[in-house]
Amino acid sequence: MWSFSSDSPVRIMEVCGTHTHELFRTGLRFSLPPWVKLISGPGCPVCVTDDRDLAKVIMMAREYELTVLTFGDMLKVNTEFGSLASLRSEGRKVEIVYSPVDAVTYAKQHPDERCMFVSVGFETTMPSAAVAVKEAIELNIGNLFFFVNHKLLPPALDALLSTGDMDIDGLILPGHVSAIIGRRVYEPILLRHGMPGVITGFTKDHMRTGINLLLNLVVHHEAKVLNAYPEVVQEDGNPQAKELIEKYFEPTGAHWRGLGFIPNSGAKLRPEYNHLDAEVAFPVSEPMVHPPHGCRCGDVVLGTVDPVDCPLFGTVCTPQNAVGPCMVSSEGACAAWYKYGGLRHV
């Protein structure tokens, strides 16, 4: 019926960066049979943020003397225009926030500063960002603007599976994103590509169950989307969270590192909230950027190479001196490989 071997393994992509890390940390990755190959996917929000978007943030902060509010992982990502950390060394204020609502609190407490919250993340983070927009409006905060750079997972999966180079037999789908968007939304995309997928939680037991279910689908050639995390993920997701997203955001085209431009794969503020949109309030010209020389982060997020295949991995590029975002971010595949896998293929 099927014949997989270490020379011709089942290729499973774990879409989510948290799965990448947990599969290493729990040792599950090392206990899989040799005929199962795990490939890291584009599910780390910092890693897929395109350099041109981060460069824009840096240009806006410099030109308009903005205080930048951001999640910690974004701080050290380097572009040709510098990093958010380098803005700090230039004397600009760059503050790390734990949640988008903290950005509202900061702006309220610092009325003399013009603040920009860098709102990145997948569907999991968007409801929280929507609550911050709602709060900023309700409290009439006049000095907070949102640089909205959210990414939507289903269109990205569709684009990923549509590229000719992908050699994947099944997808481990992310538990937290799916808590928001549900199971059903994946079905038309994965079925169109004949691709099985299993929504999976993050404990060792969850992941073992998810992988077993997925392998079962793969070996029986069944293109189904199963939910192995029903305690958290509902068929249609979280209706209140989806309502918040739809009230404040609308889909837009977005640039992804590795995947390029994908129509309707990002989110921006709805036009009625233009007055809070940092890109409207602080226009800058479109920056021309190039990825760091030799960095293969774009291929790593696509899963076409393993981190150890990058010439910079573990030598020039380490967590202490990261070149690409896949090493900078705690959810990045390169950071996981470096921390748990060392310099070899695993």
Partner 1 sequence: MKILEINGKKAIAEFLNVQREIRLDAVPHAKVGDHVMVHAGLAISLISSEEALDIQNMWKELGEDVELFI
Give me the residues that bind partner 1 (CB under 8 A), please: 25, 71, 98-102, 121, 124-125, 127-129, 131, 134, 176, 179-180, 202-205, 231-233, 238, 240-241, 244
DSSP conformational letter for 82: B
* Distance between start and end Cα atoms, the chain: 27
**Residues for the chain: how many in total?**
346
> DSSP string covering 283-322, please?
--PPPP--PPTT--HHHHHHTSS-GGGSTTBTTTBBTTB-
Q: CA angle at residue 165 from 161 to 170, to 5 degrees? A: 45
CB of 99 to partner 1, least distance (A): 3
Task: Give strand ranges (E) for 126-269.
Answer: 144-151, 170-174, 197-200, 225-227, 249-256, 260-269
Q: Which of 126, 117, 160 is nearest to 14 (CA)?
A: 160
CB of 63 to partner 1, least distance (A): 28
CB of 284 to partner 1, least distance (A): 26
* Nearest to partner 1 of 22, 299 (CB atom): 22
CB of 206 to partner 1, least distance (A): 8
* Nearest to partner 1 of 112, 231 (CB atom): 231
* Nearest to partner 1 of 25, 345 (CB atom): 25
Give whole-number Cα distances, 15 to 122, 251, 293, in Å. 12, 21, 26
CB of 25 to partner 1, least distance (A): 7
CB of 34 to partner 1, least distance (A): 26
* Nearest to partner 1 of 102, 187 (CB atom): 102
Q: Are 86 and 74 in contact (CB under 8 A)?
A: no
CB of 232 to partner 1, least distance (A): 5
Beta strands 144-151 and 260-269 are antiparallel
* Nearest to partner 1 of 137, 289 (CB atom): 137
* Nearest to partner 1 of 176, 193 (CB atom): 176
* Nearest to partner 1 of 129, 335 (CB atom): 129
Q: Are 336 and 24 in contact (CB under 8 A)?
A: yes
CB of 48 to partner 1, least distance (A): 17
* Nearest to partner 1 of 127, 292 (CB atom): 127
Q: How far is residue 219's CA from residue 233's CA, in Å, rounded to a whole number?
A: 25
Describe the strand order of the beta sheet including 197-200 as a list of residue ranges.
36-43, 10-16, 170-174, 197-200, 225-227
Give whole-number Cα distances, 261 to 49, 193, 284, 315, in Å. 11, 20, 20, 31
Give whole-number Cα distances, 72 to 46, 56, 95, 144, in Å. 10, 18, 9, 19
